[in-house]
């Protein structure tokens, strides 16, 4: 059972939000859904839009890279009346309260918030009930609780809530499992037979990639002699007597027999340990796999992590509508097109990851490491590039990484990432970024979680921002020590 204090109040709030939203639907209001562009944002939007469509609502969706103050003002002017914010809004509650006091506002979010906003708002956020929104429930999860309260038959949407949660890297339990309120969502998904949970080889691409490619591309965990070495991967499989193909088709990890899986894992773990890799890291080959049982085998939608990666690609490459269409059930044209988008996205990621490993590209301050992608790295991709660089240890992990890139409107996009270890030492990036932006000149808006945060700052203020951020991190580390 979920032990979290505030759990009942949170669930009651989701029920209240559902009846309020259904009231708007019955009043035939045009509902404006506004969502964030990453995997969790698109999953959350997919859940809310599906629930709205099933209830017969009139609605419209807009996907934003960020809800800036200026955008809140524009939304009221352009659209007026009923707004549903998903995966954003809580961090911008002051702006929404200022400009949308006369609108009907629903917020389904999991970002830390500075308050609940105007009493007329329906603000659903785990943090407001002392529930950890960084690891225990994502925006898609919050949207799912509301959708389930709107109609119990929306229980099938629990699968998308799992996609959102793994997209935001909330699989922080034992063997990469989902915990807290996410675990309740997993129970629903099993009950509805939309998701199967297993302990299995969890390497990325397990549903879609040929086995030797999956092995070659794995950076998490890093397998010495295998990662990055296609020939060695094929040879290893051959030596283990594991056929690469079945007829004309490449086999995937998910298609291996139990016996083949055991042989493969035993050999990979043996190799890793012989190279001095910590047994714990070696065991991380095995983890919790969330399989979307109703999706076709061999498609990226079958594995929750691959699904989230596909959505992320759609959002970040400028095709969020395609991702939402897939979330809402399109398995034809849009699904086919997303595959191209995903390949383009992967190519770009690889290019950027190579760039940041060039000598002297990443610089250091006392408590931070940073790089500026300027116009070379697309600002919509700077977040994932930084997340991957940190999680796959392409960069040092002794201090947070700050990534910068030129954005629109003469602004610089900032993404910062830490590690669990740094968070344990007292670092809270969301707080640090807010302190830093208050102390620099020009437009600046930011926020986020302890482990991942972002901002937009005025061009020209980067140096001052880094100095202030460094100070904030120093204070956080000092406070923890004393």
Select 169 or 461, whichever has its Cβ closest to ligand C5P.
169
Chosen residue from 24, 40, 171, 184 binding ligand C5P by CB under 6 A: 40
Chosen residue from 25, 178, 186, 453 binding ligand C5P by CB under 6 A: 453
CB 195 within 8 A of CB 159: yes
Q: How far is the CB of 423 from ligand C5P (least distance, A)?
A: 9
Using N-to-C axis directions, what is the helix angle for 429-438 and 462-481, rounded to 10°? 130
Give the x/- contact pattern for ligand C5P in 60-99, rule: CB under 6 A: ------x--------------------x---x--------
If one counts every other C-beta atom within 10 angstroms of the C-beta of residue 80, the result is 15
Of 402, 391, 478, 412, residue with least CA distance to 433: 402
Select 233 or 455, whichever has its Cβ closest to ligand C5P.
455
- Assess 46 for contact with ligand C5P (CB under 6 A): no
C-alpha dihedral, 82 to 142 to 428 to 470, nearest 10°: -40
CA 156 to each of CA 59, 116, 138, 153, 230: distance values in angstroms, whole numbers, following the listed order: 21, 30, 17, 7, 39
Q: How far is the CB of 263 from ligand C5P (least distance, A)?
A: 32
Q: Where are the alpha helices (DSSP H) in 64-138?
A: 69-79, 93-99
Q: How far is the CB of 455 from ligand C5P (least distance, A)?
A: 5
Chosen residue from 55, 169, 372, 461 binding ligand C5P by CB under 6 A: 169
- Assess 383 for contact with ligand C5P (CB under 6 A): yes
- Assess 141 for contact with ligand C5P (CB under 6 A): no
**Closest-approach residue to ligand C5P (CB):** 448
Chosen residue from 455, 457, 458, 466 binding ligand C5P by CB under 6 A: 455
- Using CB under 6 A as the binding criterion, the count of chain residues that bind ligand C5P stands at 24
103 to 122, contacts with ligand C5P by CB under 6 A? Answer: 111
Rg over CA atoms, the chain: 22
Beta strands 369-372 and 452-458 are unpaired
Select 57 or 385, whichever has its Cβ closest to ligand C5P.
385
CB 448 within 8 A of CB 454: yes
Q: How far is the CB of 48 from ligand C5P (least distance, A)?
A: 15
CB 162 within 8 A of CB 178: yes
Q: How far is the CB of 10 from ligand C5P (least distance, A)?
A: 18
Chosen residue from 38, 260, 428, 450 binding ligand C5P by CB under 6 A: 38
Q: How far is the CB of 436 from ligand C5P (least distance, A)?
A: 12
Q: How far is the CB of 452 from ligand C5P (least distance, A)?
A: 3
- Assess 454 for contact with ligand C5P (CB under 6 A): yes
- Assess 446 for contact with ligand C5P (CB under 6 A): yes
412 to 431, contacts with ligand C5P by CB under 6 A? Answer: 415, 417
CA 94 to each of CA 74, 99, 101, 445, 447: distance values in angstroms, whole numbers, following the listed order: 16, 9, 10, 12, 13
Q: How far is the CB of 336 from ligand C5P (least distance, A)?
A: 26
Q: Which residues does 178 contact at the CB level (< 8 Å), separation at least 6?
A: 162, 165, 166, 170, 171, 185, 186, 288, 290
Using N-to-C axis directions, what is the helix angle for 304-316 and 39-54, rounded to 10°? 100
- Assess 36 for contact with ligand C5P (CB under 6 A): yes
H or E stretch covering 36: strand 30-36
- Assess 200 for contact with ligand C5P (CB under 6 A): no
CA 413 to each of CA 2, 269, 430, 463, 468: distance values in angstroms, whole numbers, following the listed order: 37, 40, 15, 13, 16
Select 36 or 302, whichever has its Cβ closest to ligand C5P.
36
- Assess 305 for contact with ligand C5P (CB under 6 A): no
If DSSP codes are grouped into helix, strand and coil, which group holds residue 256?
coil
Q: How far is the CB of 91 from ligand C5P (least distance, A)?
A: 4
Of 467, 358, 448, 362, residue with least CA distance to 404: 362
Q: How far is the CB of 413 from ligand C5P (least distance, A)?
A: 7
Using the rule CB under 6 A, give the single segment among 52-60, 262-270, 273-281, 443-451 that binds ligand C5P.
443-451
Q: Where are the alpha helices (DSSP H) in 275-303?
A: 279-283
Integer Cα distance of 345 and 38 in angstroms: 13
Of 141, 136, 83, residue with least CA distance to 109: 141
Using the rule CB under 6 A, give the single segment among 194-202, 226-234, 363-371, 450-458 that binds ligand C5P.
450-458
Using CB under 6 A, list all residues that contact ligand C5P.
36, 38, 40, 66, 87, 91, 111, 168-169, 383, 387, 415, 417, 445-449, 451-456
């Amino acid at each position: 059972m979920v032990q979290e204090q505030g759990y009942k109040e949170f669930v009651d709030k989701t029920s209240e939000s559902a009846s309020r939203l259904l009231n708007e639907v019955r009043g035939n209001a045009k509902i404006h859904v506004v969502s964030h562009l990453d995997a969790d944002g698109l999953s959350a939007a997919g859940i809310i839009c599906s629930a709205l469509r099933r209830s017969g609502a009139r609605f419209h969706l807009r996907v934003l890279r960020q809800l800036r103050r200026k955008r809140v003002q524009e939304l009221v002017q352009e659209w007026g009346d009923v707004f549903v914010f998903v995966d954003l809004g809580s961090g911008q509650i002051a702006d929404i309260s200022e400009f949308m006091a006369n609108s009907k506002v629903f917020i389904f979010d999991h970002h830390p918030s500075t308050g609940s906003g105007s009493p007329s708002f329906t603000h659903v956020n785990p943090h407001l009930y002392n529930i950890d929104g960084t690891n225990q429930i994502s925006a898609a999860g919050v949207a799912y609780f509301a959708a389930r309260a709107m109609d119990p038959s929306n229980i099938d949407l629990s699968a998308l809530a799992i996609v959102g949660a793994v997209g935001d890297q909330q699989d922080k339990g034992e063997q990469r499992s989902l915990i807290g309120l996410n675990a309740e969502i997993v129970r629903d998904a099993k009950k509805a037979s939309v998701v199967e949970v297993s302990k299995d080889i969890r390497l990325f691409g397990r549903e879609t990639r040929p086995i030797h490619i999956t092995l070659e591309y794995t950076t998490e965990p890093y397998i010495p002699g295998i990662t990055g070495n296609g020939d060695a991967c094929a040879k290893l499989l051959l030596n283990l007597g594991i056929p690469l193909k079945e007829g004309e088709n490449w086999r995937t990890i998910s298609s291996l027999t139990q016996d083949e899986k055991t042989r493969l894992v035993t050999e990979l773990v043996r190799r890793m340990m012989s190279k001095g890799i910590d047994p714990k890291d070696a065991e991380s080959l095995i983890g919790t796999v969330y399989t979307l049982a109703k999706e076709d085998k061999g498609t990226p939608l079958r594995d929750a992590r691959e699904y989230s990666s596909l959505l992320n690609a759609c959002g970040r490459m400028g095709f969020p509508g395609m991702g939402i269409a897939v979330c809402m059930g399109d398995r034809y044209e849009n699904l086919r097109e997303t595959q191209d988008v995903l390949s383009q996205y992967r190519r770009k990621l690889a290019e950027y990851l190579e760039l940041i490993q060039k000598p002297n590209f990443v610089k250091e301050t006392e408590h931070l490491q940073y790089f500026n992608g300027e116009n070379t790295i697309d600002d919509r991709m700077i977040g994932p590039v930084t997340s991957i660089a940190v999680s796959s240890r392409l960069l040092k992990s002794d201090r947070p990484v700050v990534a910068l890139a030129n954005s629109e409107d003469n602004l610089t996009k900032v993404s910062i990432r830490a590690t669990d270890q740094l968070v344990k030492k007292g670092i809270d990036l969301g707080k640090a970024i807010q302190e830093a932006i208050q102390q620099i000149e020009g437009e600046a808006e930011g926020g986020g979680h302890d482990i991942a945060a972002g901002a937009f700052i005025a061009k020209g203020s980067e140096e001052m921002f880094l100095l202030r951020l460094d100070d904030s991190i120093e204070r956080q580390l000092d406070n923890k020590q004393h």
